[in-house]
Amino acid sequence: MKILDGKMLSSKIEVQIQKEVEFLNQNFIYPTLAVILVGDDPASASYVKMKSKACERVGMNTLTFAMPSNTEEEILLEKIHELNIDNKIDGILVQLPLPKHIDSSKILEAICPSKDVDGFHSLNVGRATLGFECFIPATPLGVMHLLSEYAIELRGKDCVVVGASNIVGKPLATLLLNAGATVSVCHIDTKDVSIYTKMADIVFVAVGKPNLITQEMIKEGAIVVDIGINRLSDGRLVGDVDFENVAPKCSYITPVPGGVGPMTIATLLQNTLQSAKTKLKR
């Protein structure tokens, strides 16, 4: 069994990004990510902090706009509009989830697609489906980078994605399909998830339930990519896979933490860099 080491790969990617940021700076381009945080959810605040710190490490600017939980939708839309037309801003990210009274899809659709470094705007989602160049959500793209680093071939492989959210499961399934895999997607209404996981060469899990995937659900030699992040009552961070019992059966597996999480951040930085680099051509 080998570990798919996202921590190692993300550090390598950050070194490369840092060099490219320095080059852009020499050309008077200063990549800048704007992050909007609405409300006081501690997990969201901690993700935003991690993203800002990562930007700092590679020499990118971040501007965090913290807004109270009772912020009106109109005010948030105004802020997005302001950032859309601000030439200094290369990427705009609205930390999810948003408070219930705000329509998330309306907010995501308001972000200019050329600054939508999270890849959640319908234009980017559509382009990704067609395999066109666009911003691709950081978590699924980070997973693809991780598989590629370990030369894991996807063409012809039987893959299952457990979890079908718009931000992780669905875009991941699209990327796998476009890479030539045969893809099943399971979700809360799937009658028996284990039917799909047992026959899969590669199992991807993005649900948010500790120990959802157990040893009996995985075939010998399978690859397991655990995207889930769960904070246990004792403070430990775990994924959706019973790592201890599943790992010995796998050819490769991602740890939590240190697997997909750091790849998500590194890929977000790459997306922001990609946006800033378009200024070189202007």
Q: Which residues are annotated as a binding site for NADP(+)?
A: 163-165, 188, 229
Q: Specify the residue, 59 or 257, whose C-beta has the smaller distance to ligand NAD.
A: 257
The C-alpha R_g of the chain, in whole angstroms, comes to 19
- Please, what is the minimum distance in Å from the beta carbon of residue 138 to ligand NAD? 7
Distance separating alpha carbons of residues 238 and 275, to the nearest angstrom = 33
Is 5 among the catalytic positions? no
- Please, what is the minimum distance in Å from the beta carbon of residue 194 to ligand NAD? 10
- Spot the catalytic one: 51, 79, 115, 157: 51
Distance separating alpha carbons of residues 248 and 244, to the nearest angstrom = 8
- Spot the catalytic one: 5, 116, 118, 240: 118
Q: Specify the residue, 111 or 164, whose C-beta has the smaller distance to ligand NAD.
A: 164
Is 51 among the catalytic positions? yes
Residue type, 125: V
- Three-class secondary structure assignment of 183-229: EEEECCCCCCHHHHHHCCCEEEECCCCCCCECHHHCCCCCEEEECCC
Q: Which residues contact 233 (CB under 8 A, 6 or more apart)?
A: none
Partner residues linked to 240 by β-bridges: none
Nearest alpha-carbon partner for 278 in 127, 118, 115: 115
- Please, what is the minimum distance in Å from the beta carbon of residue 95 to ligand NAD? 11
- Please, what is the minimum distance in Å from the beta carbon of residue 248 to ligand NAD? 23
Q: Specify the residue, 113 or 163, whose C-beta has the smaller distance to ligand NAD.
A: 163
Is 118 among the catalytic positions? yes
Q: Specify the residue, 88 or 209, whose C-beta has the smaller distance to ligand NAD.
A: 209
Residues that bind ligand NAD (CB under 6 A): 139, 162-165, 167-169, 186-188, 190, 193, 206-209, 212, 227-230, 260-261, 264
Give the 3-state secondary structure of residue 26.
Answer: helix
> What Cα–Cα distance (Å) separates residue 175 from each residue in 30, 132, 200, 219?
30, 11, 17, 23
Phi and psi of 203, rounded to 5°? Answer: -115, 125
- Please, what is the minimum distance in Å from the beta carbon of residue 114 to ligand NAD? 23
- Spot the catalytic one: 95, 115, 170, 226: 95
Contact 128, 136 (CB under 8 A): yes
Distance separating alpha carbons of residues 44 and 60, to the nearest angstrom = 21
Q: Which residues contact 114 (CB under 8 A, 6 or more apart)?
A: 275, 278
Q: Specify the residue, 24 or 172, whose C-beta has the smaller distance to ligand NAD.
A: 172
Which residues are catalytically annotated?
A: 51, 95, 118
